[in-house]
Structure 1
Amino acid sequence: MSKINVVFITRWYVPEWKACTIRILYFVKSFLSVGANVYVLILRSPHELPCTRVDCEHVINVKLFHFPRKITAEYFSLLTNMPRLVNKLSKIIMDINAIIASVPPADTAFMGYYLSKFLNSKLIIDVRDLWEYTIADIYTWHFPKLQHILSKPYISSYLSIAERADLITTSSVGQKVFYELNYRVNRNKLRVIYNGSDSGLFSRYIRQRCESDTFIGIGLGEYEARYQMLSTILYIISKVLRKGINIKLRAIGKIGSLDFIHDSKVKDKVEIIKPLPYEMLPIVMKNASFGVIGRPNTLPWKLSVPVKLFDYIACGLPIFAFGPPKSELQFFIERFGLGMYVPSNDVDVLANKLVEFIKNLDNYDRKHILKVARFFDRRKWAKRFVKVVESLL
């Protein structure tokens, strides 16, 4: 096949080390490895710093204009500036084979659709999470009484574009089924590309067993966001401490205020580490005992498998997770034997289950966990993504 030209459209890229950024970065590297020309368009707000390139990709920072905050939100800015942006970008990037709309899929799909029509290119939508509902709520929060009405055109516009896309990749089976059944997307246009983790990067920091009397639970994520369930996790830890278990939480990522914790003993058991570049994660995870994941009972999170799961198992860590019953996360953990999933948000139930989990930590087969991690190696799945896109061209 002749050299291909692809465009990624995203809201985030390096040096912002978000889970979505890492997914895109590995896709970009895989395309570059097969000799493709790669352009990364980052939709930025005026107050945000420009993103930079990592390899040989071409990075284009697109600034969005803002209307007064009290009148409208970023979504309307994106729509009103779309013709101008598409016309400008089409002069910079030509002869494009594929346009890949990444995170958040709804926002980037709007621009991707118009750009693909203008350049006569294939449109691929990469779905990491079902963000369209969350983003719709964020964009209309200025109008709480009209929020439901205002979010409808946003979602319906995205669904219309999704139906016209040439390919949609999802990061879980549950998301794929949802798009097929709820969005009526042709199943032949749907593929699952898991997030995974770079098992080669993490392998040198694997901990074989728990040698210490202190059990360290590792937590990755933007814990200032409610869906990360930090308050619930901390309440669980406080109850476990009262049961005589020496446990500690090492939280890596953006953390909000911990002022709601009045127990000084619990505060002393929380170690906070600021967001780190991806290659630094295994260094601070190497002496952890297990990984912790909490999920709320909402549709976007019920159908997703969080990236942190793959990073945990890449270090050979068993997982303690909780959330709604019959979630994609529960299915994944139980299917592959990666730890314990508790279908509950009751703190007392979770505390008892965590004690049970800790007492049986050494019974989890870490070699098996690492074998699963190697199957979900991020580099392999990025290569699969490239092959899927190439087969479309």
Structure 2
Amino acid sequence: MDFSLTSAQQALQQKVRDFIAEQIIPLETDPRVTPHGPSEALREALVEKARVAGLLTPHASRELGGLGLSHVDKAIVFEEAGYSTLGPTAMNIHAPDEGNIHLLEAVATEAQKTRWLLPLVQGRIRSCFAMTEPPPGAGSDPAMLATTAVRDGDSYVINGTKWFITGAQGAAFAIIMAKMEDGSATMFLADMDQPGIEHVRTMDALDACFTGGHGVLRFHDLRVPATDVLGEPGKGFRYAQVRLAPARLTHCMRWLGQARRAHEICLEHARNRHAFGQVLGQHEGVSFMLADNAMDLHTARLHIWHTAWLLDQGERCNFESSRAKVVCSEAEWRVVDRSVQILGGQGVTGETIVARIFADMRAFRIYDGPSEVHRFSLGRKLLAAI
């Protein structure tokens, strides 16, 4: 693996870095940033800026209007976008739309791509991915899927409840995972404005970085035409891996940008703040934390780039993406936590963006599989390989 960036990658990296610094970071204090993420009006304004800059939905194929980025390209671009809490939203590479775009490109029919994927890539609509359920339904264990889909003529009738559905409020459509009568799972595409879909409420959460927040949805006799099945019936779990393996890695990329920003803010503070007769960073306890931050950032980036490179070679990377998700979510979290500590009172207030990053990032160790589940899966795979 060659760790040097091509001239094209360097130019794209700088372009994104300048765009985020000059056009997006100034909007982080915009009053349209709500407790449940950027408002739809702010999202549209951000998207328009990225459209004008030629940076909208860069991970989509060139045929759809994107830049057709490789996974390594995404590692570079997504980290720069993640430097701002609003960057992923502006560039239309935020969760869950980024993963849904990847899945639809890989699996959807041409008619489905025209109806749902194209406007999603263009930033004109948002989507959500409805898989997680309240107990006793599916959470970390997808085999516990409780939402049902029953064939009725040329349609399927879906019943069940989902929660922690990111972006649900205001989403134009949902990808719904439901259990079939034979126990298999199928994915369905459904417009959110149908009477069979109820947005029960938006959940209170630590984070405020996802437009639409995290919602509770109820499906009551939702009728979905067989033509709106995503992919083939019964292959929902397989398609979930098509979506989740790369999506785990893109989360790592975006949050790396946030962690790097927190580190740079606390580093500047450590260089200029004086305490007990010397610059704060000259105190051994602080300098050790700065050194640990640098090591964690580098470790996370190496895991991301290596896994991205393997994906570009055509590898499935289920093991590697799980490993990267654990390493990066924990390393990047440590960086932000240390940054708060170094900043002291400024780290727990709105005097810097670090407190916001701290709150937003905490969930990263839970969603897309908690660290414990990934460790359990990694251990089983290691034992099976003996």
TM-score between both structures, scaled by the size of structure 2: 0.23
TM-score with structure 1 setting the length: 0.23
Of Structure 1 and Structure 2, the greater helix share is in 2
